[in-house]
Structure 1
Amino acid sequence: MSKIKMICLDIDGTLLNSRHQISKITKEVIKTVSNDKKIPVILVSARMPKGILFLQEELQIKQSIICYSGALILDESRDVLSKKIISVYDLEKLYKLVQCEKVHMSLYKDDEWYIEGMDYWAKQESDITNITPNIVDFSELIKLWKKERTGPNKILCMSEAGRINSLKEKIGDYDLNIYPSKPTYLEIMPKEASKTSAIDVLRRKFNIKQEEILAMGDNYNDMDMIEYAGLGIAMGNAPDKVKECANKIALTNDEDGVAEAIREFVFGDD
């Protein structure tokens, strides 16, 4: 096996335990691998920058980050390396459909989160991420984005599982990257955005070979990067379908799976 030269970690369900925390042992291992061994540890998530940067600070690392499942990449100086957006016209059609379906819609652009009202779903997401959204009129925001010829990096729809499944079926023919991150969450990204495409941008930036990448994740939107990496690892808490595409299965996120995998497959290379 080639020596690992870049580590790509999903956040929720992977880096974070079920209490949405990074364990002490995981912090220590990541700090050592990033700062002492000089191996880039890249946090890869559907989250916005604000939801990732505070975790970097907690880990005491400074690296590029992959946000919105690859739709936005920031370098270590927080400059934009790559950005992809959803067409404002697709957003307009989705907004009308979501209103009919009575599903919550959140819009994310750059490092801002927009909602139309602080309902149950927005409050839940705000409590998890510790981020306060901007409350705006989406019709007015869509008009503004049309003038600016721009759009969101990500749309998040939240509701009961049945409504989410119904919505997913109705927007299946849109030319977008659509997937449920959990039964009550439907993530919508630009078609060309993926965790793998973003990792490949950083692979070229660091002049690293594909087989020198270790990637870890726990959910369906992590499958592409797990399959892409030279060493793709699924968390012990991942669904069976995710585990099937991995080279190795780690312990769960409540058993320090990330720390133990890095110890075995990165420190073990010494």
Structure 2
Amino acid sequence: MKQFKLICLDIDGTLLNSQHQISPSTKAIIQRVVNEKQAPVILVSARMPKGIRFLQRELNISQPIICYSGALVMDHETGILFNQTITLSQVQQAYDLARTVGAHMSLYGGDEWFVEESDEWAEQESAITNISPSIMKFRELLQRWGEENTGPNKILYMAEPGAIHRLERRLKSHFSDNLNIYPSKPTYLEIMAKNASKTSAIEFLCRRLAIHRFEIMAIGDNYNDLDMLKFAGLGIAMGNAPDPVKLSAAEVTLSNDEEGVAAAIQKYLPQISRP
């Protein structure tokens, strides 16, 4: 059986169940992978760093984390390893387009989350991630980022599915050659720099860890996981994933409410017994 030396896990809808928790069995199996097989477990998410760090602590793992779907890679010891930002002119254009469909817009840079005002969407995201956003007019924020010669790692839109679908079409007609644009669920649309992807970040870490792509097991549940699932030696879709994601994966495991991550690890690392 193929020996996997690296496991890459998406978080929401994959590692976490629908109550946004890691089940005790999944936690125990991940800790056995790290301790018994000495295989790094990398959390790969569209989340910001502080939305991932507390899960690392819960799992008792300390590997680098991939944030914003690959736009930012951080190590707990040395800080930022890889950083891709969106230009401020692109942010302004995206802001103008979002207003045409009435979508909520959040901006993420480094370990900060910004909104112009708190609304039901911001409150929903805050409840999921246990993080509160900073409230700031984007005009002032863009001016600050301009002075610091930086920009956001991610733009997140939240709206009803119809509005998200319309916004996705409009954004892709403007930015398809310059930005990565994809829905992470029916009510969420995410934007990153064109060269930022979960795969590019995993490739970066593989070079640092001297691990080949065919030695990677990757597990995810949504469209922003597609590139990662295709890149890995074994890409596994969750049972709760949309059908196109399942069809693109090498295998489908159980859902996140049925401990699909634990089941996949147990199957392909059979020496790791279920607690």
So what's the TM-score if we normalise by structure 2? 0.95
Give the counterpart letter for 2:156 in structure 1: L
| Equivalent residue number for residue 207 of structure 1 | 210
| Deviations 1:133-170 (CA, angstroms, capped at 9, x unpaired) | 00001111112222222110000011111111111111
8 Å CA contact 2:266–2:272 kept in 1: the answer is no
CA–CA separation in structure 1 for the residues paired with 2:232 and 2:100: 41
| Deviations 1:40-68 (CA, angstroms, capped at 9, x unpaired) | 00000000001100000011111110000
Between stretches 236-245 and 66-75, larger displacement belongs to 236-245
Given the superposition, is the C-alpha separation of residues 240 and 101 from structure 1 closer, same or farther in structure 2, using an over 3 Å criterion? closer
Residue 78 of structure 1: how far off its partner (Å): 5.3
Residue 183 of structure 1: how far off its partner (Å): 1.3
| Equivalent residue number for residue 154 of structure 2 | 154
**Matched position secondary structure for 2:73:** strand
- The percent identity for this pair of structures is 57
Give the counterpart letter for 1:200 in structure 2: E
8 Å CA contact 1:41–1:63 kept in 2: the answer is yes
Give the counterpart of 2:251 among 248, 251, 261: 248
Give the counterpart letter for 1:220 in structure 2: Y
CA–CA separation in structure 1 for the residues paired with 2:219 and 2:249: 9
| Equivalent residue number for residue 128 of structure 1 | 128
Gap runs ≥5 in structure 1: none
CA–CA separation in structure 2 for the residues paired with 1:76 and 1:258: 24
**Matched position secondary structure for 1:34:** helix
Give the counterpart letter for 1:158 in structure 2: M
Within-5 A mapping of 1:74-93? 74-77=74-77, 79-93=79-93
CA–CA separation in structure 2 for the residues paired with 1:107 and 1:89: 14
CA–CA separation in structure 2 for the residues paired with 1:137 and 1:269: 50
Gap runs ≥5 in structure 2: none
Give the counterpart letter for 2:52 in structure 1: I
8 Å CA contact 2:107–2:114 kept in 1: the answer is yes
Please say if 1:49 is aligned against 2:52.
Answer: no
Residue 35 of structure 1: how far off its partner (Å): 2.4
8 Å CA contact 2:33–2:272 kept in 1: the answer is no
Please say if 1:198 is aligned against 2:201.
Answer: yes
8 Å CA contact 2:29–2:272 kept in 1: the answer is no
**Matched position secondary structure for 1:169:** helix
8 Å CA contact 1:45–1:66 kept in 2: the answer is yes
| Equivalent residue number for residue 170 of structure 2 | 170
| Equivalent residue number for residue 105 of structure 2 | 105
CA–CA separation in structure 1 for the residues paired with 2:160 and 2:264: 35
Residue 100 of structure 1: how far off its partner (Å): 3.2
Number of residue-to-residue matches in the alignment: 270
So what's the TM-score if we normalise by structure 1? 0.97
**Matched position secondary structure for 2:257:** coil
| Equivalent residue number for residue 144 of structure 1 | 144
| Equivalent residue number for residue 11 of structure 1 | 11
Residue 268 of structure 1: how far off its partner (Å): 4.5
Which stretches of structure 1, 4 residues or longer, exceed 3 Å deviation after superposition?
A: 267-270
CA–CA separation in structure 2 for the residues paired with 1:236 and 1:76: 32
- The root-mean-square deviation of aligned C-alpha atoms, in Å, is 1.4
Give the counterpart letter for 1:162 in structure 2: G
CA–CA separation in structure 2 for the residues paired with 1:267 and 1:89: 51
8 Å CA contact 1:71–1:82 kept in 2: the answer is yes
**Matched position secondary structure for 1:118:** coil
**Matched position secondary structure for 1:192:** coil
CA–CA separation in structure 1 for the residues paired with 2:149 and 2:220: 34
8 Å CA contact 1:35–1:61 kept in 2: the answer is no
8 Å CA contact 1:3–1:269 kept in 2: the answer is no
CA–CA separation in structure 2 for the residues paired with 1:72 and 1:201: 11
**Matched position secondary structure for 1:260:** helix
Within-5 A mapping of 1:13-28? 13-28=13-28
Between stretches 139-148 and 197-206, larger displacement belongs to 139-148
| Equivalent residue number for residue 35 of structure 1 | 35
